[in-house]
Structure 1
Amino acid sequence: MIKEFKDFIARGNVVDMAVGIIVGAAFTSIVKSLVNNLINPLIGIFVGKIDLSNLVWTVGDAQFKYGTFLNSVINFLIISFVVFLMVKAINRFRTKKDEEPAKPSEEVQYLKEITELLKEKNNN
């Protein structure tokens, strides 16, 4: 059983997944810091303070804090948009491999030859 566990851990997929989770957690803290410390204050300059947490709907003794939920939704949208922009910027800086056009298969080459022969035959 220990050998089986070692084999499982040693697989590339598990190690890659672990690295991805660790990097993802670190990236999450960077994005949250970017949004909370730079983006939200910038938006606050133009829109005013974005804090809806004091919006509450009370029914009897129960309080429904829908303002806090709206804050979470707004933060999610902002964070998602910032991540989208960051990924787009990172993809722009990646070097693209020179892709050679794929060589057509033999069937495609034969079909091209047949169409050329038919065109020649129709022109004569």
Structure 2
Amino acid sequence: MKGVWTEFKAFALGGNMLDLALGFIIGTAFAALVDSLASDVIMQLVAAIAGQPDFSGLIWNLNGSQIRYGAFLTVLVNFLLLGAVLFGLVKLLKRAGMGNFRAQGSHECPYCKEFVPIDALKCKWCTADIEPGQAEDEDVKLIADRQRTAD
């Protein structure tokens, strides 16, 4: 039994589990912050313009059933705001040089057909210049210089 407890402690207190737990807690707090931004600020601006605090009062009656499309629109606006805030935060952190926001995934080299990272400018197998599937901001100048040289 002691071996199982020791193994469980190593699992629960290991780096990946703590990282996941901290990420979940911060994510939950951040979601509450963005939800407050959406409901307490943005939707109040909608209320000032449209005369309603949110869209939940929009209902469509069909055969005695209420289809609450307004509640869906409110949740959709909150979701889009969360996405916009996260996008802005990642762009800000990337510009500040904080975090590791490298593109994930791979694509096939058009010359040797080996798989290379999605943001690769040169194939590591055949060393051919390739178009990246997703260019980083700092790579745009290199791509433009390469195209100018080819012309």
Q: Which runs of 5+ in 1 are unaligned?
A: 97-104, 109-124
- Residue of structure 1 in register with 2:67 after alignment: 64
Q: How does 1:1-124 map to 2 (within 5 A)?
A: 1-42=4-45, 49=52, 51-94=54-97
Question: Given residue 56 of structure 1, which amino acid in structure 2 is its aligned partner?
Answer: I
User: Normalising to structure 2: TM-score of the pair?
Assistant: 0.52
Secondary structure at the aligned position of 2:66 is classed as: strand
Specify the structure having the higher radius of gyration (Cα).
1
Secondary structure at the aligned position of 1:58 is classed as: strand
Note if contact 1:53-1:66 (Cα within 8 Å) is conserved in structure 2. Answer: yes
- Residue of structure 2 in register with 1:119 after alignment: none
Q: Distance in 2 between matches of 1:40 and 1:67?
A: 13
Q: Distance in 2 between matches of 1:54 and 1:43?
A: 13
How many pairs are equivalent?
98
Q: Which runs of 5+ in 2 are unaligned?
A: 100-123, 128-151
Question: Cα offset for 1:81?
Answer: 1.0
Structure of greater relative contact order (alpha carbons < 8 Å, 6+ residues apart) = 1
Q: Which moved more, 1:71-80 or 1:11-20?
A: 71-80
Shift in alpha-carbon separation, 1:39–1:62, aligned structure 2, 3 A? closer
Question: Cα offset for 1:36?
Answer: 2.6
Root mean square deviation of aligned Cα? 2.8
| Percent identity (aligned) | 37
More helix by share: 1
> What does the per-residue CA deviation read over 1:49-74, in whole Å, with 9 as the maximum and x for residues that have no partner?
56322222223332111111122112
Q: Distance in 1 between matches of 2:35 and 2:10?
A: 36
Note if contact 1:31-1:83 (Cα within 8 Å) is conserved in structure 2. Answer: no
